[in-house]
């Protein structure tokens, strides 16, 4: 599992596995992306981060408040080809992102203003290793009815690792078999499933995928036995 200490010390070129040189962002590129995103900050209200994947159970950054929230207009999709972290170029997996349409339930984290740049720099080092996401300001509805503006990492469809086909039948075999320095791809999927169950959140598109991946792993274990 990623830890704060791991991220602080990580050399992005090697820490996640082998990343194509042409895709790897430099620290300068990450800093420029962060600066451009903050320049578009809608107002001086607190900065919230919307977590819809591993940020939900392993945020690693500091926050002053955590609340359940709903994002309209975007849905979860394993549409990012994964060749590092929990996959390799020889056996790629799929990582989670957001695509347009539908809605997503997740967690909103309010960052402390006095630590804003430090925490966001760490977040960019985690999420923007290859610049695969578009950090976007979106309106969230929190569980208590409040409307807040949050930073959301949505899929950049122009990225070379974007995969349009994220149907369960296509991606289940990839997720079932991929692994890398950070663990297995299936482990990520099952952690997401458990977190949503724990939070009482529904994401119907995951049910079929989880069942398919479990079935493939059971079949593989039976064959090995």
- What is the rounded CA–CA span in Å between residue 197 and residue 108? 17
Q: One of 119, 127, 163, 195 is an active-site residue; which one?
A: 127
Cα–Cα distance, 49 to 120 (Å, whole number): 9
- How far apart are the C-alpha atoms of 190 and 185, rounded to whole Å? 9
Cβ atoms of 142 and 148 within 8 Å: the answer is yes
Contact 53, 154 (CB under 8 A): no
Q: Annotated catalytic, 127? A: yes
> CA neighbours within 13 Å on the CB side: how many for 17?
19
Beta-bridge mates of residue 133: 155
Q: Catalytic residues, which ones?
A: 127
């Amino acid at each position: 599992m990623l830890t704060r200490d791991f991220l602080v010390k990580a050399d992005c070129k090697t820490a996640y596995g082998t990343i194509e040189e042409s895709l790897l962002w430099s620290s300068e590129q990450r800093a420029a992306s962060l600066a451009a995103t903050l320049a578009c900050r809608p107002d001086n209200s607190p900065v919230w981060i919307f977590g819809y994947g591993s940020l939900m159970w392993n945020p690693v950054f500091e926050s002053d408040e955590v609340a359940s929230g709903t994002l309209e207009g975007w849905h979860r999709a394993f549409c990012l080809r994964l060749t590092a972290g929990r996959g390799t170029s020889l056996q790629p997996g799929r990582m989670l992102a957001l695509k347009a349409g539908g809605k997503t339930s997740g967690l909103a984290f309010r960052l402390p203003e006095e630590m804003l740049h430090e925490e966001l720099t760490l977040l960019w080092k985690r999420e923007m290793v290859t610049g695969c996401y578009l950090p976007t300001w979106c309106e969230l509805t929190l569980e208590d009815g409040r409307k807040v503006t949050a930073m959301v990492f949505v899929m950049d469809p122009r990225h070379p690792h974007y995969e349009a086909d994220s149907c369960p039948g296509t991606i289940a075999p990839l997720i079932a078999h991929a692994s890398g320095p950070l663990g297995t791809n299936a482990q990520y999927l099952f952690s997401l499933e458990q977190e949503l169950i724990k939070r009482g959140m529904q994401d119907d598109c995951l049910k079929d995928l989880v069942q398919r991946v479990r079935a493939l792993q059971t079949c593989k274990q039976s064959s090995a036995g």
